[in-house]
Amino acid sequence: MTGIEIAQLMDELHRIHRQIVDINYRERKLKRSVALGQEQVNVARKELESKRDAKQIALLDANEKEREAARVAQELERRREQLNLAKSDREFEALKIQIQLEERKNDSLADLTLEALAAVDAIDEEIKSAELKIREAEGVLNKAKDSHDQNAPKLAADLEHTRQRLREAESKLPRGLSGIYSRCVSDFGGEDALAPLSSGGYCGSCNCQIPIETVMDVCSGSAICCSACGRLLYMPEGYRLQ
Ligand SMILES: [Zn+2]
């Protein structure tokens, strides 16, 4: 194999590795969108649950206050009847004071009951908004699922096809390159295993300057790793030293 043929092969291998990384990234992105959508639905459902629990508590509170108000109103009524039957001025005055106190208590309980009922209404509004949030989150989730179902099979097929192209390209590597290439792929992962020379004779991965003799050797197709970062160097298509 000539230096140019090796350079073309390495260029192709690097391109295929980048394509595989890109396909994997897009697959993960689709899955992440579905997981994120599901998470949002779960959060919204939990919020609705907690609002419903809060409504139960607020309803119990309002009911208790209503019962207490009814009890005090009944008591007040009884005192007023006693007032009509008072046998002495003293008893009349004492009952009047008690009635005044109970009237105040009655007013305050009426206010508290109204507040408790208003709290129930406020929670009802929060429940409506939590239900809306669930519907919105479910809409986002369904879109993410549709997108996943539509695109995932195509990506899987692309990945299989690209891996096949990689195997074919790898099988063309000369024996002297194949071992170093495999070691670099296993050490750094496909995309990061290879480093194209960059203009001026630098490593395309770590940017270290490569000695000119080494650049010449790489251009003639020798298997040489960057002494700084360990990536397998190659001459990219259309490479110019300067
Ligand atoms: Zn390097």
What spacing in Å lies between the alpha carbon of 232 and ligand 1's midpoint? Answer: 8
DSSP H or E stretch at residue 203 = strand 202-203
What spacing in Å lies between the alpha carbon of 63 and ligand 1's midpoint? Answer: 76
pLDDT of residue 235: 93
What spacing in Å lies between the alpha carbon of 197 and ligand 1's midpoint? Answer: 9
Residue 118 to residue 73: CA distance in whole angstroms = 21
Q: What's 181's DSSP letter?
A: H
Instruction: Map out the domains of the chain as residue ranges.
Output: 15-172, 176-234
What spacing in Å lies between the alpha carbon of 168 and ligand 1's midpoint? Answer: 27
What spacing in Å lies between the alpha carbon of 228 and ligand 1's midpoint? Answer: 5
% of the chain at pLDDT higher than 90: 89
Output b/e per residue, 116-143; b: 16+ Cβ within 10 A: bbebbeebeebbeebeebbeebbeebee
What spacing in Å lies between the alpha carbon of 29 and ligand 1's midpoint? Answer: 30
pLDDT of residue 1: 86
pLDDT at 242 over 80: no
Alpha helices for the chain (secondary structure H): 3-84, 89-171, 175-188, 190-193, 212-219
Residue type, 150: Q
112-131, pLDDT tens digit by residue?
999 999 999 999 999 999 99
What spacing in Å lies between the alpha carbon of 175 and ligand 1's midpoint? Answer: 23
Residue 214 to residue 208: CA distance in whole angstroms = 13
What spacing in Å lies between the alpha carbon of 195 and ligand 1's midpoint? Answer: 7
What spacing in Å lies between the alpha carbon of 209 and ligand 1's midpoint? Answer: 8
CA distances to 47, 62, 65, 98, 194 from 55, in Å: 12, 10, 15, 36, 62
What spacing in Å lies between the alpha carbon of 229 and ligand 1's midpoint? Answer: 4
What spacing in Å lies between the alpha carbon of 194 and ligand 1's midpoint? Answer: 9
89-119, pLDDT tens digit by residue?
999 999 999 999 999 999 999 999 999 999 9
CA distances to 11, 62, 84, 85 from 88, in Å: 114, 40, 11, 9
The sheet with strand 232-234 has its strands ordered as 202-203, 194-198, 232-234
What spacing in Å lies between the alpha carbon of 233 and ligand 1's midpoint? Answer: 8
Residue type, 8: Q
What spacing in Å lies between the alpha carbon of 227 and ligand 1's midpoint? Answer: 7
Task: Classify domain 15-172 by CATH architecture.
Answer: Orthogonal Bundle (1.10)
CA-based torsion, 176, 178, 181, 186: positive or negative:
negative
183-205, pLDDT tens digit by residue?
999 999 999 999 999 988 999 99
What spacing in Å lies between the alpha carbon of 207 and ligand 1's midpoint? Answer: 6
